[in-house]
Chains A and B, each alone.
Chain A
Amino acid sequence: MLLECRDVRKVFGGHAVLDGLTLDVAEHEVVALIGASGSGKSTLLRCVNLLAEIDDGTIHLDGEEITDPRADPDLVRRRIGLVFQSYNLFPHMTVLDNITLAPVRVHGRPVEEAREQARQWLDRVGLAEKSGAYPDRLSGGQQQRVAIVRALVNNPRLLLLDEVTSALDPELVGEVLSMIRELKGEGMTMVLATHEMGFARQVADRVAFLDAGRVLEQGPPEQVLGDPVEARTRQFLTRIIDAGRL
C-alpha cells in the first residue's frame, strides 16, 4: 500500500472531525472522497500532508510512519503534492516562479533546468504564453491548472486534490478535470475530495463515502454511487441528485 491511514482521529474544539478513520490507497490508484461538508474530507487530506497534526491513529506512506513525531514533516511533504480548493498561488510571483520555487529552493535543482521543466509542463497544459503572467491575470481554471503543475514538478508519490473545482465557474471545470484524467492515465496515485459525482464515477477506481469522520462505505464507483449499501450514503446521494449534481 502506498498510503495507509489507521484509526485516524482529529479533534477541533471538542468535536472529532475524524473519528477513527481507516483508508488504504494502493500505488496508481485513484480514490475519490465524497461526503457532506464537514464529513472530514479536507481534514483528512490536511492530516496526510501533515499540515494538521492528528490526535490519534497512524498514517503510513510507503510503509514508513509519517505521523511519528520524529519524522521530518518537510521531508514527508516533498513526497506528497497538495492542490487547494482556492488554488493558493503566490500572488507576488509569476506563473513560472510559482512553479519553480520548490524545485529550486527545496530540491536544489539548477534554476535553468527547473524553468525548462516548468515551461514544458505549461506547454503541455496549454498555458505556455502565461509563464510570465501574475496569477491575478489568469482565470480560475488557469490558476488551478498552474497549481496542479506546481505540485507535480516535485515528482510527488501521491497527489492530494482538495475540491479543486469547487471554486470554479461551471464552464471552467472541464479543463481542470481533463488534466486530472490525463494524470490518471499516467499512473499518478491520487486522493481527491470532490463534489463532482459524475467525475468521481469516471475517474476514480474507488469511491469512499465519509460520514461523521469515518469511511462509512467504499467500493467501485458504480456500486457506491449507483447502488449504495448504507442508508446514509443513499440519503446523501439523493440530496445530490435533488440539487441536480448527478
Chain B
Amino acid sequence: MTYQPSIRQQERIAYRRGRAVRSVLLAAASTAVVGVGLAVGITGAPGWERVKESFFDLDTAQKYLPQILEGLWLNLKLLVVCATLALALGLLVAVLRTLRGPVFFPVRALATGYTYSFRGLPLIIVLYLFAFGIPGLRLKGTPDVLVLGAAAIIVTYGAYLAEVFRAGIESVHPSQIAAARSLGLSYRQAMRHVVLPQAVRRVAPPLLNDTVALQKDVGLISLAGPIDAIRAAQIGVAQDADFTPYIVAGVLFVLLALPLIAVTDWVTLRAARRQNAGT
C-alpha cells in the first residue's frame, strides 16, 4: 500500500494553502497602495516639472552616455585592481597581527597602528594626501595621479579588510591549530593549509560586501582629477546646467554593482546552508 495522507492531514494542507494565498494577496495590495502613493506624491509635488526637466532629461542622458560609459570603464578597471590588491594587503596585515613572540613586536605594532589609523581616516583625506601631497614632494619617478589615487583606495580598504580577515582567523578553533601542529606542521604551514582556508571561507560574505562598497568608492578618485564616470558626468552637468548625467552615472553604478551583490548573496546563502548542514 502506498502512503495516503489522512483526512486530518489533508485538512491541514488545505488550510495552510488558504492562508498562503491570503498572505500573497495582502502583500500585493499593500505594495500597490504604497507604490501609487509614492508616485502621486512625487509627480504631484509643485516642483515636479522642474525636477523632471533637470534630472530626468532623456536628450541630455543620451548626449553624455558615451563619455560616462567610457569613464565607467576606468572605474571597472580600478575596481578590479583595487579589490585584488586591497584583499592581498588585508590578508597580509591580518596574518602579521596574529604573529606571537617579542621578535615580531615591531611588525605587530606597525600592522595594528595601520588598521587603527586607516579605518578612522576618511577616504577623501587619504586620497588628497596621496594624490596631491606625494607629487608635492617632487621626488623623481613619482607615479601618475591615477596610480596614487588607487593606492589611497587600496590602503584605506586594506585596513577594513584586514580586520575582516582577522575576525575569520580568530574564529577558527584553537584545536584545529593543535591538530595541525601535532602532525608536525610548522606555524606557517598550519596557517597556510588549515587556518586560512577555513577563515577565508567563513568571512567570504563580509569580504564581498566590502567589495561592493569599494565598487562605488572608486568613484571618489574623480576628486583627484582622473576622468571616471562621475567626473564625466560632472563635466556634462557643468556644460548643460542639467543634473541628468549624474542620474545616468548613478544608474550605471547600480547596474555594475548588481552582479557583485548577487554573488555576495549567493555566497552568503551557501555559507549559511553549509553551517546548518553539520548539525
Binding site for B on A (CB under 8 A): 46, 49, 51, 73-75, 77-78, 80-82, 84, 86, 88-92, 101-102, 105-107, 136, 150-151, 154
Contact = CB atoms under 8 A, between A and B. Distances in A.
A86 B194 contact: no
B198 A92 contact: yes
Given A86-B175, A92-B201, A101 B193 contact: yes
A91 B182 contact: no
A150 B71 CA distance: 55
A87 B178 CA distance: 11
B40 interface: no
Given A86-B175, A90-B194, A92-B198, A101 B277 contact: no
Contacts of B184: 74-75, 77-78, 102, 106-107, 154
Contact of B189 (A46, A81, A106, A151): A106
B278 interface: yes
Contact of B183 (A75, A86, A91, A102): A102
Contacts, number: 61
Contacts of A46: 178
The 10 closest A-B pairs by CB, nearest first: A88-B179, A102-B183, A78-B184, A82-B182, A106-B184, A136-B278, A77-B184, A88-B175, A92-B197, A92-B198
Contacts of A150: 183
B167 interface: no
Q: Which of A49, A74, A84 has the most CB of B within 10 A?
A: A74
Interface residues of B, number: 19
A51 B181 contact: yes
Nearest to B279: A136
B183 A77 contact: yes
B185 interface: yes
Contacts of A77: 181-184
Contacts of B180: 90, 101
B192 to A, nearest CB: 9
Contacts of B182: 49, 51, 77, 80-82, 151
Q: Which of A106, A150, A151 has the most CB of B within 10 A?
A: A106
A102 B186 CA distance: 10
B176 interface: yes
Contacts of A101: 180, 183, 185, 193
Given A92-B197, A92-B198, A101-B193, A74 B186 contact: yes
Contacts of A78: 184
Contact of B178 (A88, A91, A105): A88
Given A88-B179, A90-B193, A102-B184, 19 more contacts: A46-B178, A49-B182, A74-B181, A75-B184, A78-B184, A86-B175, A88-B176, A89-B179, A90-B179, A90-B180, A90-B194, A90-B198, A92-B198, A101-B183, A102-B185, A106-B184, A136-B277, A151-B182, A151-B183
